Amino acid sequence: MNQRLVFSRLIGIGLLGISHGIGAITLLDANDFHYDVSEHGSLRHGTQQAYADMYRLRVNQVSYQGQINSLSPDGREIRTSDYTIPNTALRVQRRIYVPKYGEFARYSELIYNDSDQAQTVSVEIFGELGANHPQILRQTEQFLVTQNHSQAPVLMHYHSQVNHPVQASVELQGNQLRWHYRDISIPPRSQRRVVYFVAQLPRLSAADEFVAQLLESPTALFENIGLAAYPELLNFNPALPTPSQHFENAIFLTPDESPRRGELTENDPHSHRRAATPAHFYAFHLNAGETVGIQATAYFDPYLYLFADQTGQTLLAGNDNAHNNTTAAFLHFTAPQEGTYYLEVTSHRRRQLGEYGLSITRNPANQAPLVHPFRVTPYPLQTPVTATFTDFSRDPEGQIAERCWRFGDGSPWQCTAENTIEYNYTRPGQFVVSLRVRDDQGELALHSEVVEVAAQPQETDIILPINDRVTGELSPADGVSQTRTSAFADRYLIANPVPGQELVITLRSQQFDSYLYLYDALMRRIRENNDGGGEFDAQIRYLPTDDRPLFIEVTSAQDSVQGMYQLELNQVTDNTPVPIVLEIAVNPQDPQQVTFVGRVPLAFAGQFYTWNLGDNSLPINTAQPIVVHRYHKAGLYEVSLNARNAKGQTVNQRRTFLISDTGQLNVEAKFTVSPQFGERPLRSFFTNQSQALQSGLGDELHYLWHFGDGEVSTQRNPIHTYQREGSYPVVLEVYSPLTQHSVAVSMPIVAFDRNTPEVPIVGMARERPQVLMAGFDPMLLDVLDTHVRIFALVRTGATPIQSVRLLANEGDFHLFLSPVATYDNGLQRFEGIYTFPRGQWQAATMGDFFGVEKNQFRVQAQDQSGQFHAYPNLEIGQYPRLMRPAAALHVEPSTHVALRRAFPQVLAAGFDPILLDRHASQLTVVALVRAGIAPLDSVVLTQVEGDVRVALRQQEVLPNGDIVYRADYTYPAGSLPAGTVSHFFGTSKGQFNLVATDQAGQVHRYPHIVVGNFLLQ
């Protein structure tokens, strides 16, 4: 397949994303700006804190009090409940619509007069912007353009149409914005609508373009309101479509004939409904009660309109989506009476034209139900709490027969026919709640959202004031660490952190090696530190992003240790010392060649580093705090680092290191476990057989156990209990502080539950298994790391999975991947751990790991019947959908938040499906992304030395916090030739990268595996 031919047309293709915030339903526009709509219809925060509960509503000086009641069938309009203004006959309802490709939100305030007398009302829109003193960039009688700061989105508030008799007065004081429509008359027993447009835009020029578009008042801006409602609009007069003459020469089609091919060009007549947009016109005959499926597929985003009359005045249906995750247009229509029906094929965007395919099929196959975001109340959630979930899903062809919920805390599925359900949360956390809906013909659809439940501060929590110092003691009377259940710990509370004000937390003790953990309001571990303060002191620097509480856990580096300590909490100022920790990695093949790493806080923003290596060699200057050096003889050497930033500030650190001339690793990592397999709860006993290979060093070894379920231990021979079923890759890291050698070893532990049912497959299953994506965790390897996880996401076919292996294309290397998670859509995660000595990998960037060349690797999944598929092969051929795939073995996913680097990471990428039927009309690129310390800003598919740039949209959040992104590309059905694409992702010209960028401007490109200075955050 010609990649350039297919993917050069991906530019601009994307989907409206929908996600959920607690107490709000969030719609994403074409630029991925967030419109997080609260229960009352206001925008809670927007993107980058653009708003602070903006666009609230008052009618006759009474604030609207309602709740989100439903979503429109396409899931793009939020509809709130009726609210009756006290002591009046007035009812109010709000509708907030974000179009698929629009860069705005349209508010409609519906006011009903149930009395027999005309009513005069005043309507106020008010709220706060996200900055205390926003800047006014543009202002006219019709609109206001503001910006909170130079890096924030430009905000458009367009409240009235030019030359319209109904205008609003506007007032902005500080961050308080208000506009007021006065003396609006509502006739008796009727309704009227106040409409206005708001937008978050990337730049001021985009706001000017939006104003120009509104001045035209095209029909598309008022899409889904309906022509019958146009007279109800009080402050806008949208253009009415004129009677069409194009259907007089329409091409007549017969249902079930071969798909029709066409091409929209600039020379075609314009759409009856979409201004200045080319269209083609068709007609077909149906008998009364006859049902057809009408589908348009194209390289662009097609749009279908179906009319009952030849003039196009009676619209029966319109659609630009077959379902939530596609740009193909699909109509499911049953004729109310015998007659001729008229069809218009056009484009959702006037500038996107080209070839398309059109088919009309009698008695179409049942489509999956449309699953939409659900509402969660109350807001905010704080333990213990009873949460109410309300579903807005629908089935266009029938009814929702069953709704099954999983609440993300390990509890089993709960199924009901009702659209509401209650659930009790007893512990804090970030939970991925899944809703699986089944229609009356058995089709399934799945939707997942993140629900946040904050921790309730405990009576035993000690409030730690900022710029204060306390003295404490670790003892057996204390509680234990949330992360290390064998370590004594005290917990402190930072009650009201100030967003943007960096904090420094320092723990000192003369009696034990200090260790700090920092947790957020959801009790997620966000930072940890052992020796950031130097010697046995621990120190964490953290920049709060909101004012929610933070929790500090004081403990020791070794389990079950007690003693006195001092804890300090201070604000970071220009005079705050900048801590630098110097660390070393020894080349296991050449112990006198070492890598030094300087752990410099990101906030310092160092740009230039000077190293003195202590052996009379010349200083070395580097752009990053990392250097490789070879010593000519063994001995003790004092190493110093001087770091400078753009402000001219400098910081220094020095440390003495022992350089050995030992020609082999002096540490061996080894352990046994019993039992290794069993029914949960599985209590496993670990026996450490690690040793120093030189005498006299045994007592110096330090141990760190990772049990695979998020918990760790520093004991020599720990005991650990696995409460939930799963496959857990246990890693033992062994470190010699004397020689700085570190090695790791891994072994899987399996805990099962005989009573757990298998998980049904929701997705495009084939006869064969499919390795949809594969990658590394992490993709950013630290030079001191001793292991990496290689994983794959696999969809079962007709037969259960037998094995998943990483295979070298040349040689006999292989690594078995074990099942470690089954997600709620039936997708299985297989994982293997590759261990290596500390210092084996020097700083470098590697790519092209997966492929079909001799020096590359593949991940192969084989089922019990011998059928297999190997990643990264995208195969196009005869691969029809498997209607009844084998269910997946249930393995409970870990809910512990994955450890992060400072930078974002694209952990894996691929396709869904990766076995693509040649008669299909859609290809989906998928990526698994992990944020760094800053929120993600974008994930984009780009071509190496090419012009392709496609934005991926967030699809779902996995239980560990990783995010699945996708971009859907449609094309005329059957237009892709059969074949195999094995070099789609890569670093060579013409291949493709996935680029993740966060809000701090930090970037990672898949498939780049980068080794460098990447300390865990």
3-state secondary structure 824-866: CCCCEEEEEEEECCCCCCCCEEECCCECCCCCCEEEEEEECCC
pTM: 0.84
Convert the pLDDT of each residue in 227-260 to its tens digit: 788 899 999 888 777 777 889 889 999 999 988 9
What's the maximum distance between 2 C-alpha atoms anywhere in the chain?
100
pLDDT at 898 over 90: no
Kindly report the CATH number that applies to the domain delimited by 462-571. Answer: 2.60.120.380
Class of domain 770-876: mainly beta
Q: Cis check for the bond before 872: say yes or no (omega within 30 of 0).
A: yes
Least confidently predicted of 132-146, 191-205, 684-698, 807-821: 684-698
pLDDT of residue 697: 46
Convert the pLDDT of each residue in 919-959 to its tens digit: 888 889 999 999 998 888 889 999 999 888 888 888 888 98
Beta-bridged to residue 817, according to DSSP, are: 804
Amino acid at the residue 323: H
Report domain extents, the chain: 43-232, 251-363, 375-455, 462-571, 581-659, 667-752, 770-876, 906-1010
Which residues make Cβ contacts (< 8 Å) with residue 376, sequence separation at least 6? 20, 22, 23, 387, 388, 389, 390, 433, 451
Average pLDDT estimate for 515-541: 82
> How crowded is residue 762: how many other Cβ atoms within 10 Å of its Cβ?
24
pLDDT at 16 over 50: no
pLDDT at 73 over 60: yes
Residue 663's pLDDT band (boundaries 50, 70, 90)? low
Convert the pLDDT of each residue in 545-576 to its tens digit: 888 899 999 999 888 899 999 999 999 887 88
Alpha helix ranges (H) inside 518-589:
none
Class of domain 906-1010: mainly beta
| Rg, the chain, Cα only | 31
Residue 664's pLDDT band (boundaries 50, 70, 90)? low
Residue 532's pLDDT band (boundaries 50, 70, 90)? low
pLDDT at 344 over 80: yes
Amino acid at the residue 178: R
- CB-CB contact of 338 with 286 (8 Å): yes
Convert the pLDDT of each residue in 586-635 to its tens digit: 888 888 888 999 988 887 889 999 999 999 999 999 999 999 999 999 89
List the one residue out of 37, 204, 194 whose CA is nearest residue 123.
194
Which residues make Cβ contacts (< 8 Å) with residue 282, sequence separation at least 6? 250, 251, 252, 253, 260, 342, 343, 344, 345, 358
Identify the three-state secondary structure at position 474. Answer: strand
Identify the three-state secondary structure at position 222. Answer: helix
Q: How many angstroms separate the CA atoms of 501 and 634, rounded?
A: 46
Tokens representing 1003 are 């970037």
List the one residue out of 90, 126, 84 whose CA is nearest residue 107.
126
* Rounded-to-5 percentages of helix, strand, coil across the chain: 5, 50, 45
Q: How many angstroms separate the CA atoms of 931 and 962, rounded?
A: 7
- CB-CB contact of 929 with 939 (8 Å): yes
Residue 913's pLDDT band (boundaries 50, 70, 90)? very high
Amino acid at the residue 300: F
The reply to whether domains 770-876 and 906-1010 share a CATH topology is yes
Which residues make Cβ contacts (< 8 Å) with residue 843, sequence separation at least 6? 595, 624, 626, 628, 783, 1011, 1012, 1013
pLDDT of residue 238: 83
Instruction: State in Å, rounded, how far the first CA of the chain is from the last one.
Output: 42
Q: What superfamily would CATH give domain 581-659? A: Immunoglobulins (2.60.40.10)
pLDDT of residue 17: 37
Residue 13's pLDDT band (boundaries 50, 70, 90)? very low
Residue 662's pLDDT band (boundaries 50, 70, 90)? low
- CB-CB contact of 641 with 625 (8 Å): yes
What sign does the CA torsion over 28, 1017, 891, 994 have?
A: positive
Which residues make Cβ contacts (< 8 Å) with residue 354, sequence separation at least 6? 9, 263, 264, 298, 299, 300
Q: Please provide the DSSP assignment of 785-800 as one string.
A: --EEEEEEEEE--SS-
H or E segment and range at residue 214: helix 204-216
Burial class (CB within 10 angstroms; exposed 0-12, middle 13-18, buried 19+) of 527: buried
- Estimate to the nearest angstrom the gap between the alpha carbon of 746 and the chain centroid: 30
Q: What percent of the chain has pLDDT over 90?
A: 51
- CB-CB contact of 592 with 632 (8 Å): yes
Amino acid at the residue 96: I
Class of domain 667-752: mainly beta
Convert the pLDDT of each residue in 760-780 to its tens digit: 998 889 999 999 999 999 999
CATH number among 3.40.50.880, 3.40.50.800, 3.40.50.300, 2.60.120.380, domain 251-363? 2.60.120.380
- CB-CB contact of 377 with 23 (8 Å): yes
Q: What percent of the chain has pLDDT over 70?
A: 94
488-494 vs 462-463, strand pairing mode:
parallel
The residue with greater pLDDT, 118 or 587, is 118
Q: Does 375-455 carry CATH code 3.30.1300.10?
A: no
Average pLDDT estimate for 85-102: 90
